[in-house]
Amino acid sequence: MDYRKMGRSGLELSILSFGSWVTFHQQVDDRLADELMGIAYDRGINFFDNAEVYALGESEKMMGRVLKKKNWERSSYVVSSKAFFGWRGDKDKPNQTGLSRKHLTEACHEALERLQVDYLDLYFCHRPDPTVPIEEVVWTMDILIRQGKVLYWGTSHWSAGDIMEAHRVARQYNLIPPVVEQPQYNMLERYKMELDLPPVFQHTGMGATVWSPLAGGFLTGKYLDEIPEGSRLSLEGFDWLRKRWLQKQKIEKVKKLSKLAERMGVSLPSLAIAWTLANPNVTTTILGATRKEQLLENLKALEVVSLLTPKTLQQIEGILQNKPDFDLA
Ligand code: NDP
């Protein structure tokens, strides 16, 4: 496993990390969570990602139980939470969601309790909240850090403009700024990491913990002929994800990427994950898995990184941009 500094902060994260969205509590029970986190940790993964909204709090509780049982040295891993969406589903009352000082503080306390830890290494604002003054958000995060409840704070899916505004406020009042952003990044979703955020990384030195490297499983190629039973896209409530990925043009690209991976003698998931690591602004790519075999397969991305020569990257680019020269059919 390799490690990268999280931007210009002092924190080192393994280049692959492990998250629990959709999986923990819904598809994965305590026994499997224990096994998956054990494999991850033993292979050098030191960052485990979570959020208040994942399985409406149950995902943090499950991760907390595993962490307690494993009894790893607290200094050997990094654990995160994110606040914004709340955890009561549609039963949220005013102040139980969003980025107000009240919700950010209460959500932090609840995450600490659920995860059974004394502090969060990373605490993210899960989305921007235009209804709360940015000064209130930055002050709150600064206070939580000074209280020792959080070590570093970050943003997730914020625009470059919103992030720069947070930095302006931090500078103006001498507060601790966000040091990490968590955007989506995969071969089929590149806007934030490649167009919107690069100037932010350059000016602020923020790191990036990127999510959905496999587009929720679509970039494994397993949806080319059918929707396998029990897979994410088969789950109730995921129509929006099916609509996002199961589109003709995207399916064509995955077919070609599949062929390229075959020619390289690697699996498509390992190629897709390795491709995210070729972006130097990525600190860590967060993996998700519902089975041991998936995690082991995805960890092979570490070996594929060195196969990404300029020529291979160009071939991938050709496929992603529908350039006929790179048609592998
Ligand atoms: P991926 O895009 O990698 O999707 C992971 C899912 O794909 C798995 O749960 C599994 O689902 C399927 N899969 C994974 N590997 C394989 C394989 N080798 N073969 C076949 N199927 C496979 O990542 P996620 O979307 O899960 O995101 C990763 C993490 O990022 C999350 O857990 C969370 O921590 C974070 N995240 C953050 C967000 C944010 O807003 N900040 C938003 C989303 C995620 P299945 O078996 O069910 O098909």
Q: What was the pLDDT predicted at 324?
A: 72
Specify the residue with its C-alpha closest to ligand 1, atom 37: 211
pLDDT in tens, 94-106: 999 999 999 999 9
Residue owning the nearest CA to atom 9 of ligand 1: 289
243 in any annotated domain: no
CA–CA dist 29, 164 (Å, integer): 40
Q: How many CB atoms lie within 10 A of CB 43?
A: 15
Look up residue 286 and give its two tokens. Answer: 């967060």
DSSP E strands, the chain: 3-5, 12-14, 16-19, 47-49, 78-83, 120-125, 150-155, 180-181, 207-210, 284-287
| pLDDT attached to residue 326 | 57
* Residue 180: inside a domain: yes
CA atoms within 13 A on the CB side of 120: 30
Catalytic residue among 3, 41, 54, 77: 54
Report helix, strand or coil for 305. helix
Does residue 54 have an active-site annotation?
A: yes
CA of 230 to the centre of ligand 1 (A): 14
Containing domain of residue 194, as a range?
3-236+267-304
* 296 within a domain of the structure (yes/no): yes
Q: Phi/psi class of residue 78: alpha, beta or left (left: φ > 0; alpha: ψ in -120 to 50)?
A: beta
Per-residue confidence (pLDDT) for residue 325, from 0 to 100: 59
Question: CA-CA distance, 184 to 203, in Å (whole number)?
Answer: 20
CA atoms within 13 A on the CB side of 166: 32
Q: Is residue 84 part of a domain?
A: yes
Q: How big is the chain by its Cα radius of gyration, in Å?
A: 19
pLDDT of residue 266: 98
The C-alpha angle 254, 196, 242, rounded to 5 degrees, equals 35
CATH of the domain at 47: 3.20.20.100
Per-residue pLDDT, 298 = 98
List, for the chain, all residue ranges whose pLDDT scores fall below the cut of 70. Answer: 325-329
Predicted TM-score (pTM) of this structure: 0.98
User: Does the residue 15 lie in any domain?
Assistant: yes
Query: How many separate domains does the chain show?
Result: 1
**The pLDDT value given to residue 327:** 55
Q: Is residue 221 part of a domain?
A: yes
For 279-320, write each residue's pLDDT tens digit. 999 999 999 999 999 999 999 999 999 999 999 999 999 999
Note whether 49 and 209 are within 8 A (CB): yes
Q: How far is the CA of 248 from the centre of ligand 1 (A)?
A: 22
**pLDDT (0 to 100) of residue 103:** 98
Task: Classify residue 255: in a domain, yes or no.
Answer: no
